[in-house]
Structure 1
Amino acid sequence: MTTQAPTRESLLETIKETVEKKNVELLHMQFVDIEGILKHVTITAEQLDDAVEGKTMFDGSSVTGFTPINQSDLYLVPDLSTFAVLPWTEEEGYSEARFLCSVKKPNGDDFDGDPRNILKKTVERASDKGYSISVGPELEFFLFDTDEFGRPTMRTQDVGGYFEPSPKDDGEKVRLAIYKALKMMGFTVEASHHEVAVGQHEINFKYADALGSADAATTYKWVVKTVAKQFGLHATFMPKPLGGENGNGMHVNMSLFDNEKQTNSFYDESDQLALSKTAYQFIAGMLESVKDFVAVTNPLVNSYKRLVPGYEAPCYIAWSASNRSALVRIPATRGQGTRVEIRCPDPSANPYLAFAIIASAGLDGIDNELECPLSTDADIFSMNAEEIDARGIENLPTSLEAAIDCFEAGEIGAKTFGEHGFNEYISLKRGEWDEFRTSVHAWEIDAYQAKF
C-alpha cells in the first residue's frame, strides 16, 4: 500500500517552519554538472519564495557540459523534497540548508544538458510503460591522511580489513560521524563497515525511486567528504587509488515495480529462479548494451585500472543468480525485494547519468523482447582464457578510449542523453583521454629514463 505524497503547498509550509525553527539564514541551491560534480548558488532565507518560483539564475557557460557563453542564462528550480538542514552548520541561532535543483531555460523548458533532467526522461519512459524504477546503490570510498596544507596524501589512516572493528579500523569513528550527519539529513542508513582494502569503507542507505536515489548518492558523496575533512582526512571515491588493492565500486541494485498492481515486476514465484520474463528481458538488455554504456558507469581513465581480474571487480560480460564474479548478479532476496545488481559501475560516475543509462538499456531489453543468455554460475575469475572463450564470455572495454569508442558508435547513449548531453559527454571524455595519452607519467620515468 502506498502513502500519498505530500503536496507542494504542505512541503513548502513545513520547510518555512523548519527555516524559522532552525534559524536557517543561508540556502544552497545545488545541482550537478555533466561529471556529477556538485555545484551550488547560495542565497539568503529571505529569498526562499523567489527561489521556489525558479527565479535563481546562474551562468551556465561556466559549468562543464552546459551552455555556450551566448546562451548562458539558466535557472534553478528546487525539488522541495530534497530540503535539508546541514548538520555541520548548526550552532546557536544559526544554520544553513540546501535544495537539490533541476535546471531550466529562460523560457521555462527543461535544460536538456542537466543530468537530473536526463534521468527524469528515463523515469518518464518507464512510467509510460507502467513501471517505476527503484534503485539502491552501494558506494565505497577510501580515507587518506592529509598533509600540513590539507592536501591528500597516500597514507591510509588504518590497517583494517573486511568487516574488522576498531582498533584496527580507525575509520570507525569517522563512519559514525557520517552516519549521524546522514541520519539528520533524512537518510535511512542500513549498514556500515570496513571494506576489503586498507583505508576502505562502505555505508549503505535505503533504496529509493531512481531520482531520489541519484539525489541521495550525490548528497552522500558530499557528506562523506565534508565529514572526513573535519577529522583532517580526505575521502575519495576514485575507482583505484591504490595499486595492488581492491578498488572502489558502486554496485547498482535496480528493480521495476508495476504502478497499477504495486508489485515487483521482476518476481515470478513459478520460475525456477523466481524471476519474471520482464526480469530476464531487462537483464538481456543490460548485457546487450553494457559495452556501449560502460563509459558512463566507469567514466575515468582510472576506472579501467579497477576492472581487471584479481580484485573482485567484474570485467566479464555474464550474469548469474549467485556468482559474484559475474557482471550482473541476482541477490537471493525474492518477492518485493527481487532486484538485479550490476557490479561494474564505480562511484566516480555521475549517478543521474549512470542510473538513466542502465535503466534505459534494461527497458530496451523489454521493448525488444530480448532473450536472456544462459547464466554463468562457475567462478569466471578461476577460468583460463580458453575456458572463457569456449563459453563465449566477452570482456568489457579495457580503457576509457575503447569505452568512448563503443559509447559513440552505439545507440544507447544518444537515445538516453539526447543530442546535447551525448555530444558534450563524448567531447569531455575524448579530451580527458587525450590529456592522459599525451602526458608523461611516473611509471614511464621509472621504467625508461635510466634504462634508455
Structure 2
Amino acid sequence: MDKQEIIKKLKEGKHTKVKVGVVDIDGVLRGKFMHRNKLISALENGFGFCSVIFGWDMGDQAYDNSKEVGWHTGYGDFDARLDLDTFRTIPWEEGIPFLLADFNSDSAVDLPLCPRSLLTKVIKEAESLGYAPMFSQEFEWFNFRETLQSLEDKNFQGLEALTPGMFGYSVLRMSENSEFFHDLFDQLEAFGVPLEGLHTETGPGVTEAAIMYSDILESADRAALFKTAVKEIGYKHGIIASFMAKQTNQLPGNGGHIHQSLWDLEKKKNLFFDDSSEGNMSDMMQSYTAGQLHCLPEILPMFAPTINSYKRLVEGAWAPTTLTWGHDNRTCALRVLSASEKSTRIEHRVVGSDVNPYLAMAACLASGLYGIKNKLKLDVAPTKGNGYENLSNGVLPANLWEASQKMKTSDLAKELFGEVFVDHFTRTREWEWRQFSAAVTDWEIKRYFEII
C-alpha cells in the first residue's frame, strides 16, 4: 500500500485518530494517538518523538549514565519516520489504523540508539551482498487469570495460572479456554501477525506461538507487535500475559527462539541448503553458523537483555548454556535443521521471550554475515546428545553484568553495530544491573532476617 492509498483510506475511514508506535531499547512498544490530519502531514515530513524513550528504562526511570540522552541533552525530540509498510488496523480496537515509526532516514544519519534503525542498517549490508534474510520468531509465555489491579494487590505473589498442572500440547486445556485461544489466532491474523502454530507448553498456563516466517524486517515487526497484541487481547478475557524469561526456578523458562535463513529470491533458492554437502549444509550456512558461535559471547546481552534472562540459561531447562551447535538438537545454542531446501534454517535457542526482537535479529544476522565475510570455517563439531556436557568450545557468560562488560569492551561488537550503539546499550544494561543490586529481595529477607 503506497502513501496515497493510505491517505485515501485514512480520509474515508470512520476514525479521526491513528495509533503510532515506536519500540524502545528494551523492546517495549511506546506510542500515542495522532489526529489523522496530523498523521497525514507526518507521512510527508516526519514528526518529533520525545527522546526520553531512549533515555529511560522499562519502569520510566531516567538513566543516569547515558551519553546520548539525559538531563544534559534536555530531552528534546528526535525526528521520527513513519514506515508505510507497517500500516495495519487493530481488530480488537474497532479497526483503528496503526503505524510503526523509527528513526531511519534516507537523507540523514540514522539514529544509532533506535533498535529498528539498527536492524535496517544490518539488513542493508546483507542486501548489498546479494542476500535476502528470511526470519521468524516463536514465543513461550505464561498466562494468569488476573488483572493489573490484582497483580498489585497480591504483590505479584500467589497468582492464578490460566490452567493447572503440566500439560504441553494439550487439546483439553485449549478447549477449556477456547474463546481466548481462538481470539489470539484469529485477531493476530487480522492484525497482520499470522501464526503458524499455537499450543500449550509444559507448565501451568504456559503457551507457545510460532509466528509465520517472512523477510527479516517484517518478522521483527510482527514479533514486537505480537507481545503487545497478546497482552491487549488477554485483557479482554481477564488474562495477564507475561513474557519474563524465567517465572520460577521450578519450571523451564520462556524461549523466544529465532529461525533464520538466507535466500536468493530471484532464483527462489535457499542459500543455506546444499544436498551435495554433509548434512545438506552449504558452505555459506557453515560460515554463517561459525560466525554466530564466534560472536555470541561478545553480544549476548542482545539475546539475553535482563537480569532474569540468565536464570533461564541454566542446565537441563530447555535453554542452552554452551557454545554448541547440532543437527536437530534442542540442547545446543544453535539447532540446525536441514532436511529439505524449503525448511533448511538455523534456530537460535539462546534467545528468551523477554528479548527486543529488533536487537536479537540484528545480532543474529550481523554475526552470521561476519562469518560469511571472514570465511570462517565451522571447525566445531556438531554436538550429538547432551549439549550441556559439551564444554569444548566454552560456555555463555553467567549473568547480565559479566555479559555487558564483555560486550562493552568488545572491538567485535563495535565493528558489527558501531561504537555509539554499543556504548549506549551496554550502559543501559549496567543500569539494569545496578537497579537489581540495590534491591532487597524476598530471598534475602527469608534467608537472613531471623537466622543471621
C-alpha distance after superposition, 1:141-179 (max 9, x if no partner): 111132582436432120251101234774443222111
Q: What secondary structure, in the 3-state scheme, does the structure 2 residue paired with 1:304 have?
A: helix
Q: Which runs of 5+ in 1 are unaligned?
A: 1-9
Quick check: 1:215 aligned with 2:217? no
AA at the equivalent of 2:188: L
Provide the residue aligned with 1:255 in structure 2: 261
Provide the residue aligned with 2:60 in structure 1: none
C-alpha distance after superposition, 1:289-316 (max 9, x if no partner): 1111111101111011100012111111
Of residues 50, 55, 66, the one that matches 1:64 is: 55
Equivalents in 1 of 2:258, 2:207: separation in Å? 17
Quick check: 1:41 aligned with 2:32? yes
Equivalents in 2 of 1:167, 1:134: separation in Å? 33
| Aligned CA distance change for structure 1 residues 150 and 27 (closer, same or farther; 3 Å) | farther
Equivalents in 2 of 1:168, 1:179: separation in Å? 12
Deviation at 1:55, TM superposition (A): 3.2
Equivalents in 2 of 1:168, 1:16: separation in Å? 40
Quick check: 1:379 aligned with 2:383? no
Provide the residue aligned with 1:426 in structure 2: 426
Provide the residue aligned with 1:81 in structure 2: 85
AA at the equivalent of 1:134: M
Of residues 23, 30, 36, the one that matches 2:21 is: 30
Whether the aligned pair in 2 keeps the contact of 1:158 and 1:169 (CA below 8 Å) is no
AA at the equivalent of 1:67: V
Q: What secondary structure, in the 3-state scheme, does the structure 1 residue paired with 2:203 have?
A: coil
AA at the equivalent of 1:321: H
Q: Which runs of 5+ in 2 are unaligned?
A: 57-67
Whether the aligned pair in 1 keeps the contact of 2:292 and 2:371 (CA below 8 Å) is yes
C-alpha distance after superposition, 1:310-357 (max 9, x if no partner): 211111111111211111111254213211111010121111111111
Equivalents in 2 of 1:148, 1:227: separation in Å? 14
User: 294-303 or 332-341, which moves further after superposition?
Assistant: 332-341
Provide the residue aligned with 1:166 in structure 2: 172
Give 1:329-348 correspondences, 5 Å limit: 329-348=335-354
AA at the equivalent of 2:36: A
Whether the aligned pair in 2 keeps the contact of 1:75 and 1:104 (CA below 8 Å) is no
User: 393-402 or 210-219, which moves further after superposition?
Assistant: 393-402
Whether the aligned pair in 1 keeps the contact of 2:321 and 2:333 (CA below 8 Å) is yes
| Aligned CA distance change for structure 1 residues 176 and 250 (closer, same or farther; 3 Å) | same
User: 205-214 or 18-27, which moves further after superposition?
Assistant: 18-27
Provide the residue aligned with 1:157 in structure 2: 162
Equivalents in 2 of 1:437, 1:295: separation in Å? 18
Given the two structures, how large is their TM-score scaled by the length of structure 2? 0.90
| Aligned CA distance change for structure 1 residues 169 and 400 (closer, same or farther; 3 Å) | farther
Equivalents in 1 of 2:248, 2:176: separation in Å? 18
AA at the equivalent of 1:120: T
AA at the equivalent of 1:431: W
Whether the aligned pair in 1 keeps the contact of 2:193 and 2:226 (CA below 8 Å) is no
Whether the aligned pair in 1 keeps the contact of 2:82 and 2:100 (CA below 8 Å) is yes
Equivalents in 2 of 1:266, 1:167: separation in Å? 38
Equivalents in 1 of 2:206, 2:438: separation in Å? 31
Provide the residue aligned with 1:264 in structure 2: 270
Given the two structures, how large is their TM-score scaled by the length of structure 1? 0.90
Deviation at 1:220, TM superposition (A): 0.4
Q: What secondary structure, in the 3-state scheme, does the structure 2 residue paired with 1:437 have?
A: helix
Equivalents in 2 of 1:55, 1:101: separation in Å? 9
Provide the residue aligned with 2:451 in structure 1: 451
Whether the aligned pair in 2 keeps the contact of 1:356 and 1:416 (CA below 8 Å) is no
Deviation at 1:13, TM superposition (A): 3.6
Provide the residue aligned with 2:313 in structure 1: 307
C-alpha distance after superposition, 1:41-62 (max 9, x if no partner): 3211223321211332122145
Pairwise CA RMSD: 2.2
Deviation at 1:210, TM superposition (A): 1.3
Deviation at 1:186, TM superposition (A): 2.1
AA at the equivalent of 2:135: V
How many residues are aligned here? 432
Provide the residue aligned with 2:401 in structure 1: 401
Deviation at 1:208, TM superposition (A): 1.2
Deviation at 1:218, TM superposition (A): 0.7
| Aligned CA distance change for structure 1 residues 295 and 414 (closer, same or farther; 3 Å) | same
Whether the aligned pair in 1 keeps the contact of 2:405 and 2:426 (CA below 8 Å) is no
Deviation at 1:438, TM superposition (A): 2.7
C-alpha distance after superposition, 1:44-91 (max 9, x if no partner): 12233212113321221454376343472222211111111111221x
C-alpha distance after superposition, 1:197-241 (max 9, x if no partner): 211101222111111111100110110010111112211111001
Equivalents in 1 of 2:11, 2:150: separation in Å? 35
C-alpha distance after superposition, 1:405-450 (max 9, x if no partner): 2211223432233222211111111111122123221111111222
Q: What secondary structure, in the 3-state scheme, does the structure 1 residue paired with 2:21 have?
A: strand
Of residues 10, 19, 30, the one that matches 1:19 is: 10
C-alpha distance after superposition, 1:89-145 (max 9, x if no partner): 21xxxx521101122589744222211110011101111111111111111111113
Provide the residue aligned with 1:114 in structure 2: 114
User: 19-28 or 339-348, which moves further after superposition?
Assistant: 19-28
After TM superposition, the runs of 4+ consecutive aligned structure 1 residues lying more than 6 A away are: none
Provide the residue aligned with 1:369 in structure 2: 375
User: 135-144 or 169-178, which moves further after superposition?
Assistant: 169-178
User: 397-406 or 12-21, which moves further after superposition?
Assistant: 12-21
